[in-house]
Chain A
């Protein structure tokens, strides 16, 4: 009999009950909650007279609607304010753990979960947010759910799930200098497509993945959903264990060692069989820039915007044409000739301390180009912000003409005041380049923090190594 995949192990450890047709009641260890997808769930609970099954599994935080500037004024948009206040009322009335906007621990839910040790290896983690896959980087089974499921988890601590197929994406070899986790995941999505992982749980493996830091692995798992997979994960190794050690909510002392012994088993067995395997050569991955309105529409930084006329599939060609029209791009344009108007460094994909360090390294001693109307850095949490300030990164950004903001989802999806105006073009470290995602009529190019920083300095896309000496 073949060995077990990491996904098999995580799944089997959480089965409460299995029906003959395979429908499984799966136990949920950690339930992350934010203000956008939870109000209707709490209302449903109230209307049915139900209470949370295990309130201490919840960690709640406002992130989507929070302002990233002038926080002392509170939330000016009354609709956003109501939503954040509704969260606070809902969770405090039930005694659930909550980091309000003024708490230094507040931040993007997918940044603070690992940061607090609220998400741990071996856990099942859910949140009413598709980027919950981020937490899989710790060797957890983490996936996004809808609001009905949020209510279901609150009421029962469980979800009805069917086991999906397992896919292994193996990236072997050494990444070229300047190629980051973000480039790897964009290249993967470019290869398998936005539906390539639909119906699968993806395990990212191979020497290139193992060489990444835990934060880099989070950037990769974060965008599993952009490849269609609800869950992405990376096997536990010593980096995982060291990352978790000492986190506020992680076990400590003897309990930690006991847990770590279990966590070390959270790897796919050597003879495990996957339903699909994708192999990629790390050395062939170049820094990526998206050119279209779907995350699979990417090109290497030294490449060109593709030509729909060269696409044989008519449905696909039509999609490319529509995307280029929306993006106001001509086929065969050099990626390096594209000039953004704004630069956004942040989001649950790329707002952790290593992301900010990578961007600061490029920006240091340089200035934002004149054609860049706004370059903003939005740390993923209050603690990331604090750390960055201790390292002097804020000064580097401010001296270069960037804005240094308060933590939140910000211009990744523009639910707060941070947004693109119609027609504006943005170099963004976020995860989605859908039409209107960053503001109606806005045009998004997905890139790594280093490439976003380089674009801010040069005024067009460029490899950081090609920038003039600072």
Chain B
């Protein structure tokens, strides 16, 4: 996983609540068996005027000029700003892969759906929760000054707005540590193989049917 320490970039304002993962990456692209290549289809239904299918050359498609990610300088954005309950709906990690493949490193919103939040942290895409008025302040500043840069600092857990205001956010220590260091979850867990085996021993003793039934 790509580590996240400090990132400064252009903020794209996506002024919507309840942005669902179907909107972030529509279902037809989930047929891919790969982890990469979803960027051109991030927000496909909003970004293009013609219906998209896997394998199409996105440079030949009709783009929707009204959609924020099609407008300079937001087409170069690396931080996404949205309203509450971002990433709700389906568990598809493809939504996170689509955002990172587009070039996003962080998403700032007043709240996130749980599965999306977890998926983001596992892919080096930092979900930043700020209060609604702080998010509003960022929307206002970006509107007044499109292309202004925002700094997201995971070491300090701060967001520095274009006008220099510093907002603080929190992330649980475990996720923060893994993100800062870009750690491989599985390798870490396998250090506890003995604990897992001890649990399995306990299960065989206390709830013997749990693993037996699964032979069926």
On A, residues with C-beta under 8 Å from B are: 13-17, 19, 21-23, 25, 27, 29-30, 36-37, 39-40, 43, 48, 50, 53-54, 56-57, 64-65, 77, 79-80, 82-83, 86, 117-118, 120, 122-123, 128-130, 144-149, 151-152, 155-158, 160, 162, 164, 194-195, 198-199, 225, 228-230, 248-251, 255-256, 258-259, 262, 294, 315-316, 319, 322, 413-415, 422, 432, 434-437, 440-441
Contacts and interface: CB of A to CB of B under 8 A. Distances in A.
B154 to A, nearest CB: 16
Name the prevailing secondary structure of the A interface residues: loop
A132 to B, nearest CB: 8
Contacts of B196: 16, 25, 27, 53, 156-158
A379 B45 CA distance: 29
B111 A37 contact: no
B45 A435 contact: yes
A23 B196 CA distance: 15
B215 interface: yes
A21 B214 contact: no
A255 B212 contact: yes
A49 to B, nearest CB: 11
A148 B113 contact: no
A199 B27 CA distance: 26
A120 B94 CA distance: 30
B89 A440 contact: no
A122 B18 contact: no
Contacts of A414: 27
22 contacts: A22-B172, A29-B214, A40-B33, A50-B186, A56-B214, A83-B31, A130-B89, A145-B91, A149-B118, A152-B185, A152-B186, A158-B189, A162-B174, A194-B18, A195-B111, A225-B115, A228-B88, A230-B115, A250-B213, A251-B213, A319-B18, A415-B30
Contacts of B51: 422, 440-441
A23 B188 CA distance: 13
Interface of B: 16-18, 20, 22-23, 26-28, 30-35, 45, 51, 54-55, 83-85, 88-94, 96, 111-115, 118-119, 122-123, 172-174, 185-186, 189-190, 192-193, 195-196, 198-200, 203, 207-216
Nearest to B112: A198
Given A39-B34, A43-B33, A198-B85, 12 more contacts: A16-B198, A21-B174, A27-B200, A37-B92, A79-B54, A83-B31, A86-B33, A148-B185, A152-B185, A228-B85, A434-B23, A435-B23
Contacts of A43: 33, 35
Nearest to B116: A146
A120 B213 contact: yes
A36 B95 CA distance: 13
Contacts of B189: 25, 152, 155-156, 158, 160
B33 A123 contact: no
Nearest to B55: A79
Contacts of A37: 30, 91-93
A403 B27 CA distance: 24
Contacts of A144: 91, 115
A251 B212 contact: yes
Contacts of B45: 435-436, 440
Contacts of B193: 156
A294 B192 contact: no
B45 to A, nearest CB: 5
Nearest to A431: B89
Contacts of A128: 91, 93
B48 to A, nearest CB: 10
B2 to A, nearest CB: 13
Give 5 nearest A-B pairs by CB, closest first.
Answer: A249-B216, A39-B33, A146-B119, A146-B93, A251-B209
A228 B22 contact: no
A288 to B, nearest CB: 18
A30 B216 CA distance: 13
B46 to A, nearest CB: 8
